[in-house]
């Protein structure tokens, strides 16, 4: 006999409680405790043939420590983010805003894998087979080895996997799949947890690289319990501005590679196009001879990227001036403004300051501090910067300019794009030989950088 048990589960973190509470004791979120019923089986449930294994424990000395085999996806930007390609048996989670291009990316990846002779099963729980076919026609990704299934019942999905025996599996999306033996609605914490655990067993036992598409909340995080991100091998976020054609693929967790790499795509009418030279693309619309515009050199993983950093400083009519930033950390901008006021004598207490990274890119490293300082001072003094300058460096609280990593790669990227001069920290010149054809201006303080850039 089965026993029905009622419990309350937080939809944000998965914390369980025997009674309802307004505030989750695990994550502190309000009104997130949802009622669920759990059926406790006294007899053991038979295990699926897809997940049954007879593998025995081995001594760690006897385990082969060779590299994980990689399967190239056919998209260079996706291979960069994954660390070289797909690992057979891995479980990936892809999240992003609605309409950002997740299904388009996975369909193009599926077609590229089928061109290598691999079988792909695309399970769609949100679109019909006809809708998926229409999307494939528009993208031109038709192949006999690409199988499409519209199903949300996990048992029927397992039967299709056993029948097709794919090398690559796509579940779009995990919030629509449900297990019939779990008495909860699709998308609930229990359903997402149990379905993800079952797909993980299928991927590991059968060596099928599996991609789960996850919905995101209004804050941008993947919906469902946090346990979902802990269970998978790789978590990818597909992000971008609705009003920009550029899309960024970023890894926040990767057991088989680095989490510092990003992939850049451009959304076209015929699908996603890889951007192999993002620096040239981000600087294509840069105005010349305008105050507040500076080119900053940033590192995204192993790739140097040059972006335009814009600042606007204008008198305010309010007691408290506004400090707004897009693409940069707001706290870092406040720090840079405080340094300019205290160390440089710029009176910004009655000025609104707006800082923006053109192209919808987000810079997370402190190497953009010096470029932000130069842009703010340029706008405040209404003095344009030199169009052939590139600036990078970290700004300290005492007004010093600190060294940043991989200065040589940043300088070479600036030289490749035709820039004539680079303003960089003096400490970053150690250990490498500057290339010919570009002038390097080494600075130790923000005052030296401003004199070099604005005079």
- In contact, 50 and 202? CB cutoff 8 Å: yes
Residue 103, annotated ligand binder? Answer: yes
| CA dist list (Å): 265 to 75, 90, 123, 333 | 10, 24, 24, 28
Helix (H, G, I), strand (E, B) or coil at 110: helix
Exposure of 412 by Cβ count < 10 A (0-12 exposed, 13-18 middle, 19+ buried)?
Answer: middle
Handedness of CA 139, 141, 142, 148 (dihedral sign): negative
Residue 431, annotated ligand binder? Answer: no
Residue 101, annotated ligand binder? Answer: yes
How many whole angstroms separate alpha carbon 397 and alpha carbon 331? 13
- Give me the DSSP letters along 20-74: --SB-TTT--BS-EEEEEEEEESSPPPPPTTT---PPP--TTTS--PPPP-B--S
Q: Which residues, 6+ apart, have CB-to-CB distance to 312 below 8 Å?
A: 292, 352, 353, 354, 379
How many whole angstroms separate alpha carbon 191 and alpha carbon 269? 36
How many whole angstroms separate alpha carbon 347 and alpha carbon 249? 40
Residue 100, annotated ligand binder? Answer: yes
Q: In the numeric block, which tokens belong to residue 71?
A: 């399967």
**Taking each helix axis from N to C terminus, what angle separates 330-344 and 446-454, rounded to the nearest 10 degrees?**
90
Residue 99, annotated ligand binder? Answer: yes
CA neighbor of 156 nearest in space, from 185, 195, 128, 193 = 195
Residue 97, annotated ligand binder? Answer: yes
b/e 277-294 (16+ beta carbons within 10 angstroms → b): ebbebbbeebeeeebbbb
* Tally of helices (H runs) and strands (E runs) in the chain: 11, 21
- Give me the DSSP letters along 143-173: -TTEEEEE--BHHHHHHHHHHH--SEEEEE-
Residue 384, annotated ligand binder? Answer: no
Residue 66, annotated ligand binder? Answer: no
Phi, psi of 170 (to 5 degrees): -120, 130
CA neighbor of 307 nearest in space, from 252, 264, 352 = 264
The total number of residues written for the chain in this structure = 455
| CA dist list (Å): 451 to 233, 378, 431, 443, 447 | 49, 11, 26, 10, 6
| CA dist list (Å): 166 to 122, 179, 207, 235, 441 | 10, 21, 10, 22, 56
Binding region for ATP: 96-103
Binding region: 96-103
């Amino acid at each position: 006999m089965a026993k029905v048990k009622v419990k309350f589960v937080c939809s944000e973190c998965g914390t369980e409680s025997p009674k309802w509470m307004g505030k989750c004791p695990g994550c502190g979120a309000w009104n997130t405790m949802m009622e669920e019923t759990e059926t406790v089986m006294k007899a053991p449930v038979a295990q699926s043939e897809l997940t049954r294994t007879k593998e025995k424990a081995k001594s760690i000395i006897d385990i082969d420590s060779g590299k994980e085999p990689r399967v190239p996806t056919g998209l260079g930007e996706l291979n960069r983010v994954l660390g070289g390609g797909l690992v057979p048996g891995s479980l990936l989670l892809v999240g992003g805003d609605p309409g950002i291009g997740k299904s388009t990316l996975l369909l193009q990846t599926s077609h590229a894998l089928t061109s290598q002779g691999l079988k792909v099963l695309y399970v769609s729980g949100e679109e019909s087979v006809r809708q998926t076919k229409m999307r494939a026609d528009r993208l031109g990704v038709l192949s006999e080895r690409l199988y499409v299934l519209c199903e949300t019942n996990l048992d029927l999905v397992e039967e299709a996997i056993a029948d097709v025996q794919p090398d690559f599996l796509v579940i779009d999306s995990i919030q629509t799949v449900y297990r019939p033996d779990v008495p909860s609605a699709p998308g609930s914490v229990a359903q997402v947890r149990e379905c993800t655990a079952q797909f993980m067993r299928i991927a590991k036992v059968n060596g099928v690289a599996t991609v789960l598409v996850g919905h995101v909340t209004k804050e941008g995080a993947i919906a469902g319990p946090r346990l979902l991100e802990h269970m998978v091998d790789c978590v990818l976020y597909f992000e971008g501005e609705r009003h920009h054609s550029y899309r960024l693929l970023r890894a926040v967790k990767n057991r088989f590679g680095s989490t510092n790499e990003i992939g850049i795509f451009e959304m076209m009418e015929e699908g996603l196009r890889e951007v192999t030279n993002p620096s040239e693309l981000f600087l294509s619309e840069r105005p010349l001879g305008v105050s507040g515009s500076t080119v900053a050199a940033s590192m995204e993983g192993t790739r140097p990227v040059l972006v335009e950093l814009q600042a606007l400083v204008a008198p305010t009519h309010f007691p408290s001036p506004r400090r707004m930033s897009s693409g940069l950390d707001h706290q870092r901008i406040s720090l840079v403004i405080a340094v300019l006021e205290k160390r440089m004598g710029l009176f910004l207490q009655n000025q609104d300051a707006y800082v923006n990274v053109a192209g919808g890119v987000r810079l997370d490293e402190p190497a953009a501090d010096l470029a932000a300082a130069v842009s703010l001072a340029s706008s405040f003094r209404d003095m344009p910067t030199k169009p052939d300058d590139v600036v990078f460096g970290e700004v300290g609280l005492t007004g010093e300019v600190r060294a940043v990593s991989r200065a040589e790669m940043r300088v070479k990227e600036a030289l490749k794009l035709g820039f004539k001069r680079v303003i960089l920290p003096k400490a970053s010149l150690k250990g490498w030989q500057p290339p010919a054809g570009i002038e390097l201006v080494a600075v130790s303080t923000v005052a030296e950088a401003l004199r070099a850039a604005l005079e």
